[in-house]
Structure 1
Amino acid sequence: MSAIYLLSKVCRHVPSSRCLKIKQIQPYLRRTTVTVASREIQQLPVGEIPEIGRKWVGRWLFGCSGMVFGAVVIGGLTRLTESGLSMTDWHLFGKRPPISQAEWEREFAQYQDYPEFKLKNKDMTLGEFKFIWWMEYGHRQWGRTIGTFFLLPAAYFWHKGWFNRALKKRVLACGALIGFQGLLGWYMVKSGLEDRFHDPSDVPRVSQYRLMSHLGTAFVLYSLFLWNALAVTYPAQQIKQVTSQARNFRKLAHLTKGWVFITALSGALVAGLDAGLVYNSFPKFADRWIPSDILAFSPTLRNFTENPTTVQFDHRIMGTTAVCLATALMIWSRRGVKLPPRAYNAATALGAMAWMQVGLGISTLLMYVPTGLAAMHQSGSLLTLSFAIWLTHELKHLKKIPK
């Protein structure tokens, strides 16, 4: 209750002469009240973000996560259209695209010196080369745009004091990951430009290990942005009583989130080896439940990362396990376990998305990996992870039972 409001109450019960004297000092009290209020705003508790700052920082973090999501989609399309090896050099701040016919011919001649053209694309025309070049160029420029979209607001918010100590550390981690992701992308492309494809049957491609690392880093970066955006904008809800059943539910949710992430990484191996084109039948592999060439390589461990049949088999098993875990969470949330209100919606969304993702995966396999459907399947993996992150965020306060 303000001092001016109290004065108006007092004036009703005092003589008019005294009330006049009180009214004479009201301007001074008004200025004093504003000064005190401004001091209260400036002296926020340590670690607390102002409301206006919380709103804009949350929007920025959600925007960054959306930008990374877009990069994953564009990267998937670049891979599916086999455009990733079209640009044979790398510049930190990018380069101007070719404009004249002579510049395009010079760029095309540079591409012709590398294995992909020599072993696979000998009949490619300049027009076809332009398409794959623009795909790769767009992917790289999108990555640089993410860096700008992150860095400029981050510097402004830091200057305004809208980051608490914990958020400052996370922002620095995200910035380091963005820079590392760019370097890792070029390191991945270089593996497809190396002179290591000598047999006419060799298929020039990037290393599946580097592709998995590149995609995994993008998923980690996306997860950090999304988690912090949720923490700033929609703090996790609490419940009055934390039960042991709710704690076990939280453990299963974290297990599911980790499993979804690992399954997505196995999908990167499938993409890197074109393993989706090996057995295009479901649920069996041709006419067998377990394919005969699942352990064709020696030593045995090589099969899990280099044998396309084994890689596809593992991805199927992991995807099936992921949908079972997500379904268990969805059903369990409807069986009376006490959770924060938004957690029920998150569990339902995760279960539904997991089944959609399985449907997309099977359809992609049976239709011999069409570009559009395969891109949707890759995007679906990130959406599934998003709902898992949302669910675990809502369960943040279920760590222990109060004594």
Structure 2
Amino acid sequence: MSQTTDGSDVVLKEGQCIKKSGNRGLLGKYNWQKRWFVLIQRDKTVTLYYYEKRGARVPKGEIQLSNKYVTREPEGIEKERRNCFEVGPFAEDGTTRTYYICCETEDDKHEWMEVLDAAIEGTTAKKALLRKQTASFKAKKRKDRESKNSLIAKENEARRDMYLSADWRKQQWANLLALAIGKNWKKADTKDGVTVSRMSFSDLPLAVIKVEGLINARSKHVYSFLQTAIQPGGKLDFPFRGMEDILDEFTSPPRGSVMDCYKEIKILPNTKPRGVTLLQAAVPLQLTQGESCGILIMSVNHPDSHKRQQDAVTCNVGLSGCIIKPKRSLQTNPAPTHNPPPGDQESSASEDDEDDLMSPGRRVRGSEVTHLTLLGQINLQGSLQTMLKGAYKSGLLVHGMRSFFQNLTEHINSYVKIVDV
């Protein structure tokens, strides 16, 4: 840790990098210039200075870092430069400049990004320096992970037709249920009966997020609503807008389809369109003996996918979906005052047909409500993935997902008033 004489400044990191100029040169091109960068924390303020050379007294410029900044991989022509990253606004605002910086080595690039991220997040100088010390280790983990992901992609390519098997789709549903009740969830935030939680962003290439809560409706109605809502023109069809092609359809349950989706997202500058090939399957209660139902969504490989999307960045949707589970509410219906006819006692105790759970006068422990879980695993690649993680850490995504769940509840309640008569 390097400090000034009065102890007020902490140098978190310094070194030589190449920076893209903010103005075009005589030939209309941007210049790339060597600069000496110094990241300094002064109390709660963090500033990235850059000088013409090491030892220069007056900086050529500075970046006052705040939580509106984020580091990320470049997606424009800067992506072609070796060991390049960018520091810019979390979302394009038209006023905040994006800086493009190239390092000598990939490890140095990742170290700069780690320390800058720590500073932007408001981490103390001590913790920021600790992240700097572990950056090389994390860079190695990242390389190992990329190598592992490449191997997994090759294996998936070799097994791309497995999803045609109904048994394979049933197994994916079982895997989704196991993931939802697993112990790796952290950063849980509960408010107004809705819990939003995630898995570690640093250890996984995917952002893995879960939203769950109770809905005062029967499972069959929630399931019916979701099936209708994700169809074209439905209230929840927005994830599938831009769908170009239905590549395959399944006739055996869980029934569904494989589709190509293509999105042009213009939140950030130089952002390329995203393409994804999705499997979507509906899992009814009959397949799970009444324990759960819902919608299964995940990326798959298909020989005809992305033929018209050569310019798209292929994003990956891991095992995701909507999980619907019947629950008993705490309210009980009054038991009938008359005695049941002989021979009917056993049938009354054993019958549990969901169509009769809310019938007045039935001897049940309570009417049915639904525990709904929305679970998503996604890697949007590049800048958008960094933005997604930043949105969660800033609280914007947590608030948005809770509001979405509450709006979904209102839509379901309106639907139930129509169908449950």
TM-score of Structure 1 vs Structure 2, range by shorter chain: under 0.3
Normalising by structure 2, report the TM-score: 0.23
Per chain length, whose mean CA-contact separation is higher, i.e. which structure has more relative contact order (CA < 8 Å, sep 6+)?
1
Normalising by structure 1, report the TM-score: 0.24
Q: Which has the larger radius of gyration?
A: 1
Flag the structure with higher helix content.
Answer: 1
